[in-house]
C-alpha cells in the first residue's frame, strides 16, 4: 500500500493540491487523472520519492516498479540488463558478485560475502532473471535478436517498451506508470492491459487513453479543485460521479440562496420593528445556510470543429499498384483502393508496419502536399475539388521557427481577420498573449493544438491524421473524437486510441507484410471477424 498524509505542493501562487490525505491499496488499480497542469506528474514523483513534499509525508513499499521517462539513461547497457535493473536489489547483488569473481584473489570475507550475495540472488529469482526478462520483452514486441544489443541501438519506441519491461520486472509491490501506452501499437497495448489485469499489487497509472483506463482501473484518483478525490470505477465512471456531485452541490446552493434571499427580505423589513426575536432567529438561519463554496476546476475543454469550404467529388481518391520500398524492405506492394466521399478509414498495424509510410505515399501527388519521392510505383489520383488537411505524426520542422503563433497561422489564410485568428486560437486554449508566443517555444501539446488550428482554418474536405492524439490530454482527445464524428468529409486516420477507432471508423485498412487488407465495416465488426477466424 502507498499512503499520503497531509501533502501539499504549490509553485509560487499556483496551488496544485492542499493537505491531501489518501491511500492506494494493494489489489486495486488506480488511474491518476486531471487536466494538463493539475499536477499529475508532480504527484507521481512524490509517490516514487523523486520529489519531497513541501508539507506532509508519503509512505511507500520497499520495491517499486517505475516507468522511467529518460530514454537515453541506459544507452550503454544491454537490453536484458536494462530490464533486470528494474529489481535494484537483485541488480546490485549481481554486479557485486561479478566484481568478486573477477578479482585475482579472494579473501575469506569475500567468500562469506559471496554466500550472502548468492542468497540474495536466489531470493530475488536471479537464476531465471534473463529468461523472465525475455518473456516480458517478447510480450512487448521486442524480438529475441535485440535482447543482447545495447539500448543505444534501439529506436525510440523500442526503448520505451524496454523501460516498461523494466518497471514490470521483479514482481514489485507497487507499479507507477506514467503514460505507459505512448509509442505502443494496439497489440502491445492489449498485452499490457492483460498483464496489468493479472497484477495483484498496487497500480497507479497516468494515461490519456480513456479506453485503457476504463478497461484496467478499479478506481480513479482525480486531481482537481486543488485536491485529490478517489472514485470507484474507471475514467467514465469518475466523470459521471464527478459531474453528478458538482450538479448536486450547485442545485443545493441554488435552493439555499433562494431561502437566504427570503430570510434577508424578512430581516430588512422587520429589523427595526417589534419582531426582534424573529429577526434574530432568521439571522442565525442565514448563517447556518451559507452556501458551500465551489472551488474552481482546472479543466479546460478545447472546441474542435472541422468544416468544409466545399465537398469533394464522389471519389476523393483512387490508387492502383502503389509501391513503396526502403532499400531492400518493401513496405507497400501493389496496393489498390478506391475511397468514396464520407469514408472514415482506420489504419491498423504493428509499429513499423507502414501506416505512416502509406499516408505519406498517398500525399505523393496530393494538392498542396505533392512529394513524388514518396511514391516508387503505381498511381495515386486525387479526385475533383479535393482539399486536404494533414496532421503528421512527426511534428519536427512542420512549424517554422522565428515567428509568433499568430503569424504562423495567419499565413494559411492571409485574408482572415486577426480577430478571427485569435478566436480560433482561443478555441484551442491559446489564451491571452499565447498568440504572440514564439513558435520555437511551443510544447508538444501546444504544437498539436496549433496544427489543428491550421486544419480548422483551411476547412478541407479530406483529413489525413497520423497519430493525432499522441500529445493531447483526455479532454482534448474527447473533443477531437466528437469533432471527427461530426465531420461530413472523408477521414483517413492512424491511431492507437480504441475509442476513436470504435466511434469514428466505418472502414479498416490493416497494414502488414507489405500488404493492406481493406475491410469495409467498422472496427468492432473487423475485430469480430478476426476473432471468428482464429
Element (H, E) at 506: none
CATH number, domain with residue 37? 3.40.50.300
Q: Is residue 28 part of a domain?
A: yes
How high does pLDDT run on average in the chain? Answer: 88
Contact 295, 222 (CB under 8 A): no
Which of 392, 353, 367, 361 lies closest to 379, judged by CA?
361
- Checking if the pLDDT of 437 tops 70, the result is yes
- Please identify, among 205, 238, 271, the residue that sits at the C-terminal boundary of a domain: 238
**82 and 169 together in one domain:** yes
Instruction: Provide the domain count of the chain.
Output: 2
Q: Is residue 296 part of a domain?
A: no
- Checking if the pLDDT of 175 tops 90, the result is yes
Q: Is residue 378 part of a domain?
A: yes
> Nine-digit cell at 202?
498496487
- Checking if the pLDDT of 296 tops 70, the result is no
- Checking if the pLDDT of 227 tops 80, the result is yes
Summarize the chain as % helix, strand, coil (round to 5): 45, 20, 35
**36 and 175 together in one domain:** yes
Give, as one character, the DSSP assignment of residue 292.
P
Q: Is residue 283 part of a domain?
A: no
- Please identify, among 219, 238, 257, the residue that sits at the C-terminal boundary of a domain: 238
Q: Is residue 306 part of a domain?
A: no
**233 and 333 together in one domain:** no
- Checking if the pLDDT of 308 tops 60, the result is yes
- Checking if the pLDDT of 233 tops 80, the result is yes
Give the confidence band of 239 by pLDDT, cuts at 50, 70, 90.
Answer: confident
How many C-beta atoms surround the C-beta of residue 92 within 10 A? 13
- Residue range 326-354: mean pLDDT, rounded: 90
Q: Is residue 420 part of a domain?
A: no
Element (H, E) at 474: helix 474-486
- Please list, in sequence order, all residues whose beta carbon lies within 8 angstroms of the beta carbon of residue 452, skipping any fewer than 6 positions away: 304, 391, 428, 468, 480
Angle between helices 186-198 and 129-139 (to 10 degrees): 130
Pair type for strands 174-178 and 202-206: parallel
- Please list, in sequence order, all residues whose beta carbon lies within 8 angstroms of the beta carbon of residue 160, skipping any fewer than 6 positions away: 71, 182, 183, 184
Which of 219, 494, 472 lies closest to 349, judged by CA?
494
- Checking if the pLDDT of 463 tops 70, the result is yes
**pLDDT tens digits along 407-417:** 999 999 999 89
d(CA 272, CA 256): 25
**218 and 321 together in one domain:** no
- Checking if the pLDDT of 293 tops 70, the result is no
Q: Is residue 419 part of a domain?
A: no
- Residue range 31-49: mean pLDDT, rounded: 87
**228 and 322 together in one domain:** no
**367 and 508 together in one domain:** yes
d(CA 184, CA 496): 8
Of 36 and 361, the one with more pLDDT: 361
Give the pLDDT confidence score for residue 274 in this predicted structure. Answer: 63
**500 and 385 together in one domain:** yes
- Please identify, among 214, 238, 262, the residue that sits at the C-terminal boundary of a domain: 238
- Residue range 382-389: mean pLDDT, rounded: 94
**171 and 81 together in one domain:** yes
Lowest mean pLDDT among 98-102, 234-238, 287-291, 491-495: 287-291
Which of 178, 203, 192, 283 lies closest to 25, judged by CA?
203
**126 and 228 together in one domain:** yes
Q: Is residue 431 part of a domain?
A: no
Chain mean position to CA 347: 19
**197 and 340 together in one domain:** no
**341 and 213 together in one domain:** no
**pLDDT tens digits along 48-90:** 999 999 999 999 998 899 987 677 889 999 999 999 999 988 9
Residue 359: domain span: 317-399+458-533
Amino acid at each position: 500500500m502507498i499512503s499520503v498524509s497531509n501533502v501539499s505542493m504549490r509553485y509560487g501562487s499556483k496551488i496544485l493540491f492542499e493537505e491531501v490525505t489518501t491511500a492506494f491499496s494493494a489489489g486495486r488499480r488506480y488511474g491518476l487523472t486531471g487536466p494538463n497542469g493539475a499536477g499529475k506528474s508532480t504527484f507521481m514523483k512524490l509517490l516514487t520519492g523523486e520529489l519531497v513534499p513541501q508539507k506532509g509525508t508519503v509512505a511507500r513499499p520497499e520495491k517499486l516498479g517505475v516507468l522511467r521517462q529518460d530514454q537515453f539513461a541506459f544507452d550503454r547497457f544491454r537490453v536484458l540488463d536494462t530490464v533486470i535493473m528494474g529489481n535494484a536489489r537483485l541488480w546490485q547483488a549481481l554486479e557485486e558478485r561479478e566484481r568478486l569473481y573477477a578479482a585475482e584473489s579472494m579473501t575469506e570475507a569475500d567468500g562469506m560475502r559471496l554466500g550472502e550475495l548468492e542468497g540474495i540472488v536466489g531470493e530475488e529469482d536471479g537464476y531465471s532473471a534473463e529468461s523472465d526478462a525475455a518473456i516480458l520483452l517478447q510480450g512487448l514486441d521486442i524480438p529475441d535478436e535485440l535482447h543482447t544489443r545495447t539500448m543505444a541501438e534501439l529506436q525510440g519506441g523500442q526503448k520505451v517498451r524496454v523501460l516498461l519491461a523494466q518497471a514490470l520486472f521483479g514482481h514489485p509491490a507497487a507499479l507507477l506508470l506514467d503514460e505507459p501506452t505512448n509509442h505502443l501499437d494496439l497489440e502491445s497495448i492489449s498485452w499490457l492491459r492483460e498483464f496489468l489485469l493479472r497484477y495483484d499489487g498496487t497500480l497507479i497509472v497516468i494515461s490519456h487513453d480513456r479506453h485503457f483506463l476504463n478497461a484496467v482501473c478499479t478506481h480513479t484518483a482525480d486531481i482537481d479543485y486543488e485536491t485529490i478525490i478517489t472514485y470507484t470505477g474507471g475514467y467514465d465512471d469518475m466523470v459521471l460521479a464527478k459531474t453528478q456531485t458538482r450538479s448536486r452541490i450547485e442545485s443545493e446552493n441554488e435552493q439555499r440562496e433562494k431561502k437566504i434571499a427570503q430570510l434577508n427580505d424578512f430581516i430588512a423589513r422587520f429589523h427595526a420593528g417589534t419582531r426582534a426575536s424573529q429577526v434574530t432567529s432568521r439571522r442565525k438561519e442565514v448563517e447556518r445556510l451559507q452556501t458551500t463554496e465551489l472551488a474552481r476546476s482546472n479543466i479546460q475543454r478545447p472546441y474542435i470543429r472541422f468544416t468544409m469550404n466545399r465537398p469533394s467529388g464522389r471519389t476523393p481518391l483512387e490508387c492502383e499498384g502503389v509501391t513503396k520500398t526502403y532499400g531492400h524492405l518493401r513496405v507497400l506492394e501493389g496496393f489498390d483502393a478506391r475511397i468514396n466521399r464520407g469514408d472514415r478509414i482506420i489504419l491498423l498495424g504493428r509499429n513499423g508496419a507502414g501506416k505512416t509510410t502509406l499516408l505519406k505515399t498517398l500525399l505523393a501527388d496530393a494538392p498542396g502536399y505533392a512529394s513524388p519521392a514518396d511514391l516508387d510505383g503505381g498511381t495515386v489520383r486525387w479526385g475533383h475539388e479535393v482539399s486536404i488537411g494533414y496532421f503528421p505524426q512527426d511534428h519536427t520542422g512542420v512549424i517554422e521557427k522565428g515567428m509568433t503563433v499568430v503569424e504562423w497561422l495567419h499565413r494559411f489564410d492571409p485574408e482572415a481577420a486577426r480577430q478571427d485568428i485569435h478566436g480560433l486560437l482561443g478555441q484551442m486554449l491559446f489564451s491571452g498573449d499565447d498568440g504572440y508566443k514564439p513558435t520555437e517555444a511551443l510544447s508538444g501539446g501546444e504544437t498539436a493544438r496549433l496544427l489543428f488550428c491550421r486544419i480548422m482554418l483551411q476547412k478541407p474536405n479530406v483529413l489525413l491524421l497520423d497519430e493525432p492524439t499522441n500529445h493531447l490530454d483526455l479532454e482534448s482527445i474527447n473533443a477531437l473524437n466528437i469533432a471527427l464524428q461530426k465531420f461530413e468529409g472523408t477521414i483517413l486516420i492512424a491511431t492507437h486510441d480504441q475509442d476513436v477507432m470504435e466511434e469514428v471508423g466505418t472502414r479498416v485498412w490493416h497494414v502488414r507484410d507489405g500488404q493492406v487488407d481493406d475491410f469495409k465495416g467498422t472496427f468492432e465488426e473487423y475485430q469480430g471477424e478476426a476473432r471468428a477466424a482464429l
